[in-house]
Structure 1
Amino acid sequence: MAPNAFGVHERIIPAGRCVVVRHVGSPDHIGETIYPIYRDWLPASGEELRDHPLFFHYLSVYPATPQDQWQTDVYVPLK
C-alpha cells in the first residue's frame, strides 16, 4: 500500500488459532466483552495467548446500523 495522507498502512494478520467472541452494542462498551476473555475465560481454559494483538471484525457499520445494535467479532490470538 502506498504511503497516504490518512496514515493507513497494510499489516498482515498471521494465520493461527483465535478465540472469537461477538460483541453486540456500541464500540464504546466493547471492553465489557473483552475483559472477561482475559480475566475469566483464558485462565480457566488452559489456553495461552499468541504474541499478537487482538483484532476486530466489524459486521455492522454506522449509519446503516445504530451503534447500540452493532455486531463486532473480537479475535484473541491463541498459541
Structure 2
Amino acid sequence: MATRKQFLDSQKYQSYGIHYTNPNTTPLSEHHVDFAISINCTIPPNDYGIINKKIPQLRCAKARDIGSRENNQAIIYLLETWLPQSGERIGNFPPIFHYVNVGLNIQPQEMITDVYFPLA
C-alpha cells in the first residue's frame, strides 16, 4: 500500500522553535527546544506528549536570516551586535524562531527564519 505524505500549509499554519538552550554551547543531551505549530483548536490528551501552549505577548527585537537553519546568523547578530549597541536588556523568555517557509522542497539557501529576541 502506497503512503501519501501530507504537509501543513505554511500559509495557514506557522512553525516555531522556542530555543531554551544554545546548541553550540549545550551538550546535546541537555539541549532544549520546543517545536510548535500555530493552531486554533485544543489538543486532547495523547500518547505523543503533544500539548497546547501559548507564546506570551512580548516586546521583541526581530532579525531575519536567509539560508540554512543550521547556521542562523540573525540570532548571532541580535546577541553580539544589536543588543550591546541598543541599550536594551534581554527579556525573561527564550528566543523564538519563526520558520517562515518549511517543507521538503525548500533548499537550504532559500530557508527563511525570523528570530524574535524578547526584551526586558
Length-normalised TM-score, structure 1? 0.83
Question: CA RMSD, aligned part only?
Answer: 1.5
SS of residue paired to 1:15:
coil
1:20 paired residue number: 62
Unaligned runs of 5+ in 2: 1-42
1:7 paired residue number: 49
Quick one: structure 1 residues 66 and 5, their matched pair in 2 at CA, closer, same or farther if it must change by over 3 Å? farther
Q: Given the alignment of the two structures, is residue 36 of structure 1 paired with residue 74 of structure 2, yes or no?
A: no
Give the Cα separation in 1 of the matches to 2:71 and 2:50: 25
Larger Rg, first or second structure (1 or 2) = 2
Aligned length: 78
- Aligned-pair identity in percent equals 36
Amino acid at match of 1:12: K
Quick one: structure 1 residues 67 and 8, their matched pair in 2 at CA, closer, same or farther if it must change by over 3 Å? farther
Amino acid at match of 2:64: R
1:72 paired residue number: 113
Q: CA deviation at 1:35?
A: 1.6
Q: CA deviation at 1:75?
A: 0.5
Instruction: Name the structure, 1 or 2, with higher relative contact order (CA <8 Å, separation 6+).
Output: 1
Length-normalised TM-score, structure 2? 0.58
